[in-house]
């Protein structure tokens, strides 16, 4: 059964998610070591430990493998105009990416935002290119940096210590959720294909600690 979640940050926009880290091969820097951006992952703390938050993510990992999953996802998105893939987790296998592509193609009324680190694995590039060719899909390759470093033309999002890190940079759209109690408050830049890179000022005590350690 399709299990969709809603995060308050995204103005009630819905999301399909998996368990963080377990389904994030792109989060591994070396055996046992996470990339910097994932060391402060919000999806491994707080509410994400609650059974009612974990259960749908665990269920979804099995559920997407059903033959009817694409049909059911298309039906579930009937009233959505914006959708986010992976409030937590990532496209850990190519078979899932190919099914997501089918859902995107069959829901042209809905804008999809897919943030991912799976771009590191060449076999995913073709399916990401196919997604990006669709008018209603924004695929953003996440930088691993938490100090604002990214590769022009590759990354579509990056974390930095604070808003001032990014202010002078052209082509970068700053996430201003911090000015609106941590909510998007009508902004839809992450879904906007014309925005090359979203810069997220670091949020959360855990991420602030990661940045302090890296800058020491």
Which residues of this protein are in contact with ligand SF4, per CB under 6 A?
A: 175, 177, 184, 187-190, 198
The CB-of-192 to ligand SF4 minimum distance in angstroms stands at 8
The CB-of-195 to ligand SF4 minimum distance in angstroms stands at 8
Shorter beta-carbon distance to ligand SF4: residue 8 or 65: 8
Shorter beta-carbon distance to ligand SF4: residue 96 or 207: 207
Q: Count Cβ atoms below 10 Å from residue 120 Cβ, excluding itself.
A: 15
The CB-of-157 to ligand SF4 minimum distance in angstroms stands at 9
CA–CA gap between residue 35 and residue 145 (Å, rounded)? 8
Shorter beta-carbon distance to ligand SF4: residue 104 or 172: 172
The CB-of-70 to ligand SF4 minimum distance in angstroms stands at 26
DSSP secondary structure, 61-125, as one string = HHHTTSTTHHHHHHHHTTT-SEEEE-SS----SHHHHHHHHHHHHT-TTSEEEEEESGGGSGGGH
CA–CA gap between residue 117 and residue 3 (Å, rounded)? 23
3-state secondary structure of 183: coil
Shorter beta-carbon distance to ligand SF4: residue 105 or 189: 189
């Amino acid at each position: 059964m399709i299990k969709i979640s809603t995060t308050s940050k995204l103005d009630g926009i819905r999301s399909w998610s998996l368990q963080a880290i377990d389904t994030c091969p792109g989060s591994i820097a070396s055996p046992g070591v996470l990339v910097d951006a994932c060391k402060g992952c919000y999806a491994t703390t707080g509410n994400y430990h609650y059974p009612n938050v974990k259960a749908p993510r665990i269920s979804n990992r099995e559920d997407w493998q059903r033959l009817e999953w694409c049909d059911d996802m298309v039906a579930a998105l009937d009233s959505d105009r914006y959708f986010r893939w992976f409030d937590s987790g990532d496209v850990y296998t190519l078979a899932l990416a190919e099914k997501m592509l089918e859902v995107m193609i069959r829901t042209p009324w809905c804008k999809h935002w897919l943030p991912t680190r799976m771009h590191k694995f060449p076999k995913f590039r073709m399916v990401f290119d196919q997604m990006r060719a669709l008018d209603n899909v924004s695929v953003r390759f996440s930088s691993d940096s938490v100090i604002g470093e990214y590769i022009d033309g590759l990354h579509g999002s990056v974390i930095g210590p604070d808003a001032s890190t990014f202010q002078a940079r052209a082509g970068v759209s700053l996430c201003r959720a911090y000015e609106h109690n941590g909510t998007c408050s009508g902004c839809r830049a992450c879904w906007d294909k014309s925005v090359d890179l979203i810069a997220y000022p670091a949020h959360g005590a855990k991420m602030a600690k990661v940045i302090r350690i890296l800058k020491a």
